[in-house]
A and B are shown apart, each in its own frame.
Chain A
Amino acid sequence: MSKAHVYKRDHINTDEIIPARYLNTDDEKELAKHCMEDLDAGFMKKVSKGDVIVSGEDFGCGSSREHAVWSLRGAGVQTIIARTFARIFYRNAINCGFYTIESKDAVERINDGDEVQIDYQAGIIEDKTNGQRIEFRPLPEFALEIIRDGGLLEHIKKVKG
């Protein structure tokens, strides 16, 4: 079971996820210490391994820094559920083998702190706290293949031998 951290707003950008002042390293553990720092200074105190973030439109807009995905992953975040994603963030997530879920209404139906369970194959989010059942369209097959292979580079190694 995962706890949902809900941010009811749009355009959460990479500067908020991991401020550029910390881009002098690409160490995931180091980046995780500052995850979401400029948006929610208390985030790292409340997040536990396997938790999910739920948000609105255009999540991850801004810089191409994959550090944003690494800091979230380093912080233990299992997946991001958002109405839409900014394209570079979305692509980086797939390339890193990190799941993202596009859902139009999750941000309205899941409350901050709710316990959720996700079935990635079936495309179902169950909010155990309020009993809501939210369906989503799983990632396209080629993206799932990259994630199953453990990211883009492993995928390339496998495909190209």
Chain B
Amino acid sequence: MSMTITEKILARASGKKAVKAGELVNAKIDLVMCHEVTTPAAITMLIEKGIDKVFDKKRIVVTPDHFQPAKDIKSAELHKRLDEWAKRHKIKYYYKLGRAGVCHALLPEQGHIRPGEVIIGGDSHTCTYGAFACFSTGVGSTDLAAAIATGELWFKVPESEKIVLNGKLPKGVYSKDVILAVIARIGVDGALYRAMEFVGPALKDMSMEARMTMTNMAVEAGAKNGIIGFDATTKKYLAKRLKDKKTYKVYESDADAQYVATEEFDCAKLEPMVAMPSLPSNAVPISKCKGKPMDQAYIGSCTNGRIEDLRIAAKILKGREVKIRTIVVPATPTIWKQADDEGLFDVFYRAGCVIAAPTCGACLGGFMGILAAGEKCISTTNRNFVGRMGHPKSEVYLASPATAAASALTGKLEDPRKFL
């Protein structure tokens, strides 16, 4: 029976020869990602139900990230509950402050993500890891608790939707612009319950960082998972990173696998995109929205806080000064160090940006860059819902690091190509 990559991985994980979309399976979980917002509740549930155990202390990765360093007393209590639990169960990969980072940047960087595996995390953007040809999806605290204790979860095998990326990205256009264009076309529930499988020649020139930006936002189209096939770029990224087991199994979609929909995009024709408030699907080309005044620029997050993103922003900011508050948040300590070593901090400092410690922070309106009523922020993050970054009457505009940096320089929505 022909299958998609998602179906093959779920078949393997549920001990079946084949599965098809719509089928309910009980899958073995290879890796569980835990952070301080959704995990403490899972821990409490497990304790209350009398099943306070972990299925495998080597297959659970823990990192505080949303409100770290703790932003207030209540979040400090969440950190404390996570810390006590991780220590009590001797979780092997527990990243503490100083090594902790934005989970979806940290886990691939530290070599925890393996192709062919089934990964879940207590965070909706867990779909990011699908860039590595694995099945990865976000869950709530109860599912997280079940996975922590049993190493298994039920899934409905998703139907797959093929996103074909043709052509070559023009200068000043990045994978963020591609995914915003995709969501603008199919809508925030365009891939509801589906696997979004990205294929096509445009992927060839994309780094793993760039690919992760796209799979990261699969959930913004309602998808269960985003997935990209394995190639030389994946192999190279993994070569020196993988922790514990160095081997992995590579699955690929059969040529005659079933897809419920196929969407083709000519990347060569894309412009830098900006998603207007208050849905990621409200993306329009920069030529249609240029000139709108902004109050803040935010460069960071699990979508665009990786080294490549900081390099792109720095290239535009170099030798220039920002006109609005600009916050740069390297997603992990390693990225932070690398950016410093490469002289990017010098560029950001001279341009008038502030550089924050790795955290999800302001992306979700937590701290470190909250917006007041009526303020507008150009942001490299993934959601622009009402009140997402602060006051319900503030506004978030989603874009690439290049567009955010260019907009920081002029204080309004700006085409990055004029600075490249």
Asked if B166 lies at the interface with its beta carbon under 8 angstroms from chain A, I say no
The reply to whether B385 and A16 contact each other, CB–CB distance below 8 Å, is: yes
Using C-beta atoms within 8 Å of the partner chain, give the interface range for chain B.
35 or more
CB-CB contacts below 8 Å: B158-192 with A: 188-189, 192
- Chain A residue at smallest Cβ distance from B141: A66
Number of A-B contacts (CB under 8 A): 133
Tell me whether A84 and B140 are in contact in the complex, defined as CB-CB below 8 angstroms, given that A153-B45, A156-B146 are known contacts.
Answer: no
Would B71 and A65 count as touching, CB distance under 8 A?
Answer: no
Query: A58 at the A/B interface (Cβ < 8 Å)?
Result: yes
Residue among B66, B145, B188, B279 with the highest chain A CB neighbour number at 10 A: B188
Name the distance in Å between B71's Cβ and chain A's nearest Cβ: 7
State in angstroms the CA–CA spacing of A11 and B365 once bound together.
Answer: 19
Residues 99-153 (chain B) with a chain A CB within 8 angstroms = 122-124, 126, 138-143, 145-146, 149-150
Contacts of B386 on A, CB cut-off 8 Å? 15-16, 38-39
Least Cβ–Cβ distance between A10 and chain B, in angstroms: 8
Cβ–Cβ contact A15 & B124, under 8 A: no
The reply to whether the CB of B15 lies closer than 8 angstroms to some CB of chain A is no
Chain B: minimal CB distance from A149 (Å): 12
- The answer on a CB contact under 8 Å between B139 and A88 is yes
* Residues in B whose Cβ lies below 8 Å from that of A91: 139-140, 143
Choose one: A19, A37, A96; the contact of B365 (CB below 8 Å): A19
Tell me the A80-123 residues at the B interface (CB within 8 Å): 84, 86-88, 91-92, 95-96
Give the CA-CA distance A154 to B49 in the complex, in Å.
7
The residue in A26, A154, A157 that gathers the most chain B C-beta atoms within 10 A of its C-beta is A26
| A46 on interface, CB distance cutoff 8 Å | no
B142 touches A151 (CB 8 A): yes
A66 with B192, Cβ < 8 A, contacts A16-B386, A20-B364, A24-B72 known:
no
Which residues does chain A contribute within 8 Å of B20, judged by CB atoms?
Answer: none
Interface size on A, residues (CB 8 A): 41
Q: Say yes or no: is B392 at the interface (Cβ < 8 Å to chain A).
A: yes
1/0 contact trace for A38-66 toward B, CB 8 Å? 11000000000000000001100111111
Query: Are B51 and A157 touching (Cβ within 8 A)?
Result: yes
Q: Does B17 contact A (CB under 8 A)?
A: no
| B369 contacts the other chain (CB 8 A) | no
Within 8 A of B (CB), among A4-23: 10-11, 13, 15-16, 19-21, 23
**Bound CA span A118–B72, Å:** 42
Instruction: Evaluate contact between A153 and B145: CB separation under 8 angstroms.
Output: yes
Asked if A147 CB lies within 8 Å of chain B CBs, one says no
Q: For the complex, what is the distance from the CA of A58 to the CA of B223, rounded to whole Å?
A: 12
- How many Å lie between the Cα of A85 and that of B356 in the bound state? 36
- Nearest Cβ distance between residue B360 and chain A, in whole angstroms? 9
CB distance from A125 to the nearest CB of B (A): 23
Contact status of A23 and B37, CB under 8 A, knowing A38-B387, A87-B222:
yes
**Are A15's CB and B387's CB within 8 A?**
yes
Whether A84 and B192, one on each chain, are in contact in the complex, defined by CB atoms closer than 8 angstroms, is yes
Q: Which residue from chain A places its CB closest to the CB of B390 in the assembled complex?
A: A21
How far is the CB of B43 from the nearest CB of chain A, in Å?
Answer: 10
Interface centre among B40, B140, B370 (most CB of A within 10 A): B140
Identify B193's interface contact among A13, A19, A87, A151, CB under 8 A. Answer: A87
Known contacts A15-B385, A24-B72, A38-B387; is A92 also within 8 Å of B143 by CB?
yes
The 8 A CB mask of B21-58 against A (1 = contact, 0 = none) is 00010000000000001101100111001110000000
Complex contact A11–B142 (CB within 8 A): no
A11-B279, A142-B24 as given contacts; A24 in contact with B139, CB under 8 Å: no
A86 touches B146 (CB 8 A): no
Tell me if B192 and A62 are in contact (CB < 8 A): no
Q: Are A24 and B40 in contact (CB under 8 A)?
A: no
Assess whether B41 is in contact with A66, with CB atoms less than 8 Å apart: yes
Return A21 CB to nearest CB of chain B, in Å. Answer: 5
Give me the 7 closest cross-chain CB pairs, A-B, nearest first: A66-B140, A92-B140, A24-B74, A95-B142, A20-B364, A26-B41, A38-B387
Q: List 16 A-B contacts (CB under 8 A).
A: A13-B383, A13-B385, A21-B366, A24-B75, A37-B392, A38-B387, A62-B124, A63-B124, A64-B139, A66-B141, A86-B192, A88-B138, A88-B140, A152-B143, A153-B45, A153-B49
